[in-house]
Amino acid sequence: MASVIVANAFFLSNSFAYHDMTRSRLQGTPRRPIQLTKVATARFGANTIKTIFLKPNMALNHYKDHVHMVPDIDLGQMLEDGYVFRQNFHIRSYEVGSNQTVAIETLTNIFQEAIINHVKAVGEWDHGLGLTREMCKKNLIWVMAKLQLVVDRYPIWSDVIQVDIRNGAYGKIGMVSNGTFCDAKTGDILIKASCLWLMMNEETRKLSKFPDEVHNELDKHFTDTTPPMSRKWSTRDKSNVDYVRKGLTPIWSDLDINQHVNNAKYIGWILESVPYTIVENYELASLNLEYCRECRKEDMLRSHTYVIGTGKDNLGDRDRIDCEHSLQLEIGGGMIMKGWTTWRQKKWK
């Protein structure tokens, strides 16, 4: 019995070697010797079963003359005397949509990830989403108050984008983060982003002033930044909304480690009420969001979209379309978020 188990274990553990050897024959490449390494033994009663495995190499990168499919992890680096953090991100297949370009929610997540990694890189990070040591002592967390994205061109699958992050003070109440997304190969600027962070007490869920202790931690890493552009609602009747999507509810996977809905999820919700004619014929060129209050897992929402300056019958005939958006509670109508988007015609469909 023990010999049968040993044979089965040997066959299964060397399946990669068998397929590599077969692939080499089909491709006409020289067959190379297979080196096996013993990695474990297990004892069952009086019998000892020896398991033999291949030397641990990734199957896609088993031979040096094969294409390297799995790149090294980019942890980022500090530039310009420590005021700029740069990190490369590789666009994966699961990060693109049906039109092969990256979704706007993914760009928001990449932006936030680079900002958090900046705090890590300067040595002030303690844990969580960019929390410093003094923030942890005072039970404070970051919350996004405003977000602005301007897209010149969307990355596509397999692109490598280079993200530069600069952080700066916003008076005595918050921090501004600016991001520049470039094509890592050509250096062309693809996207510009800016966001405003405020502080909230994790227990009371109320906004807090920027404590001097936290400001002293981060001030030496701050540089000049440009806050997100402020927008104003149009003077129309707010109850006259063209497109509404009701019954939106967070699910467990929408929550981040601060126990409220992830910033990028709001974008998906406001796009739920955008007319399909716009989504089909246009792409999002710019986005401005103002987060009014946090959304919790028990909230039920409705999304509103108002198309500015055009009738419903000629949505597909304009070079540019501007929209206003609001995300509200189903019960009570409290404002969760308001926003503005600009859409341009797709170059290809």
Identify the DSSP state of 261.
Answer: B
**Is 254 a domain residue?**
yes
DSSP-based three-state secondary structure for 269 = helix
Report the pLDDT value the prediction gives residue 239, as an integer from 0 to 100: 61
Same-domain pairing of 335 and 243: yes
Same-domain pairing of 82 and 202: yes
**Is 160 a domain residue?**
yes
For residue 308, what are the contacts with CB-CB under 8 A and spacing of at least 6?
Answer: 234, 321, 322, 323, 324
Report the pLDDT value the prediction gives residue 52, as an integer from 0 to 100: 42
Same-domain pairing of 272 and 224: no
Same-domain pairing of 135 and 244: no
Residue among 177, 225, 219, 211 at smallest CA distance from 197 = 177
Report the pLDDT value the prediction gives residue 235, as an integer from 0 to 100: 67
H-only helix segments in the chain: 2-13, 15-27, 104-121, 133-137, 212-219, 263-272, 276-281
Domain tally, the chain: 3
pLDDT at 54 over 60: no
Phi, then psi, of 135 in degrees rounded to 5:
-65, -40
Which range has the worst mean pLDDT, 40-44, 74-78, 111-115, 324-328? 40-44
In the Cβ-directed half-sphere of 221, how many Cα atoms lie within 13 Å? 26
**Is 324 a domain residue?**
yes
Same-domain pairing of 173 and 237: no
Same-domain pairing of 79 and 51: no
What CATH number is attached to the domain comprising 348?
A: 3.10.129.10
Mean pLDDT of all residues in the chain? Answer: 79
Mean pLDDT, to the nearest integer, of 155-179?
Answer: 93
**Is 66 a domain residue?**
no
Domain final residue, candidates 41, 61, 81: 61
Q: For residue 73, with 0-12 CB atoms within 10 Å meaning exposed, 13-18 middle and 19 or more buried, which class applies? A: exposed
Question: Where do we find the tokens 């089965």?
Answer: 8
Question: Where do we find the tokens 């300067």?
Answer: 122
Same-domain pairing of 131 and 169: yes
Same-domain pairing of 175 and 36: no
Quick one: tokens of 59? 């199957």
Torsional class of 276: left (φ above 0), alpha (ψ -120 to 50), beta (otherwise): alpha
Same-domain pairing of 300 and 208: no
How far apart (Å, rounded) are the C-alpha atoms in residues 107 and 101? 11
Q: Containing domain of residue 35, as a range? A: 2-61
Domain final residue, candidates 61, 89, 108: 61
According to DSSP, the β-strands at 207-208 and 282-291 are: unpaired
Same-domain pairing of 84 and 162: yes
Q: Which residues are catalytic?
A: 258, 260, 295
How far apart (Å, rounded) are the C-alpha atoms in residues 3 and 36? 19
Same-domain pairing of 161 and 217: yes
Same-domain pairing of 139 and 77: yes
**Kindly report the CA angle at 172 between 194 and 295, in degrees rounded to 5?**
55
The amino acid occupying position 217 is: E
Domain final residue, candidates 33, 61, 89: 61
pLDDT at 312 over 70: no
Report the pLDDT value the prediction gives residue 215, as an integer from 0 to 100: 86
**Is 141 a domain residue?**
yes
How far apart (Å, rounded) are the C-alpha atoms in residues 163 and 102? 15
Note the pTM of the prediction, 2 decimals.
0.75
